[in-house]
Structure 1
């Protein structure tokens, strides 16, 4: 198997850091980005096949500099993993415009900046694979307090579906990854933001926050090392899914959503059909 070059965002922790460990072990090249190069080097160390990059994903010029540096060092990019992002837990009403926009800036526009800068190289070489790591919350949004976060992940699903069709003629594969609960630091305060001005009226949101921070955190069923290993296997194969539900809990929630939609369509079919000329 030929050596691949991977460009991975959010690589100083969680899935991103595990990608570095597994890919270097198999001999691939890794360009890894983080908001802090010092944090990345502390977590991942140094390696001849590792290029650490300090990147502000919300600044497209910063992203361009990182992509160009990857090409300069390794000569190509084979796989892009849009992994960077953070959670935001708060009711739609209580989250401010600034808090909401920042979540979109990182989770949505940061990924789009990477895609815009990497695609010219992938198109020119006529190959590549883009993994956009969303969340089961990008398919099933029924989590009190996660409306804005889910909205960012639904947005990622929308542009990924279109991107898959646009990139296919150039030999580029595209996969939307929708993980369930994996035992990473996602539910720690470093990765999960909460409202500056919480409203007492939203008891369901406060209970959701308590449950995620205390009961679910540290007890997630998904093994992130196994999740990363499966994504690497997919990148090595000829076929690739558009939708990859990662984890049995993600599959269960996806199936519940599909059943819900099916029932809604049947229940309201007469109304839907009453609008034609």
Structure 2
């Protein structure tokens, strides 16, 4: 079940008896492809990364869960977007397929980012349709397909599956944020697209466990989840998908991308949470 595509993704198989849990980190990649000719300053481009999130959740296979991580950076192509989330302003010709831009696209952060922050373009040129197709075929689709194959496999074996989509967030919102600029965020934000991608017992359980570890938790505010939880989640069919956003102030200097003194404690707490989520899933499938 282990799978590695250099520069694209790594899927780590469980190293303990398998449980029906899949973790994934789609935005922690730091391997910049040679054709990513961004013009914005590197430290600004890197603000899109969920730096070190893959390290925070690294213990997942030890508890029997699969763990999928992306190697490529989010600003190059976002694995957590639909293939039709095309920003036509970025292209030098009309896109030949379906185009259904999301609200993120209007802010310049659709499938392929046009802006790294308000008023700061990533490129000094338009991208070609061929370039975008290559990014989709080489990076985006292998990631989404690997995630769905892994989730489907667990669901077939156990009759249910619990997926955790792992992210980090800036401590304070900016102009593009759903809640407006200047709002200080909770330590964790859990999202299930307002109750549609996982059962209420799962989100309540995870929120309770995080609060018991001493953190502040918000539900679906300001982040509800995007494409990956939508793809996976179907609670009525035993497919539960939850997005977890962690406040970067807990573990990272967001300007320098240097770990802070809080990293070790947070990683230990995340490891505890992973174990409890895996126990939750084992009990639910045992009861079924």
Q: Same fold (TM over 0.5)?
A: no
Q: Give the alignment's TM-score, normalised by structure 2.
A: 0.36
Q: Give the alignment's TM-score, normalised by structure 1.
A: 0.37
Task: For CA contacts below 8 A with separation 6 or more, give which structure has more relative contact order.
Answer: 2
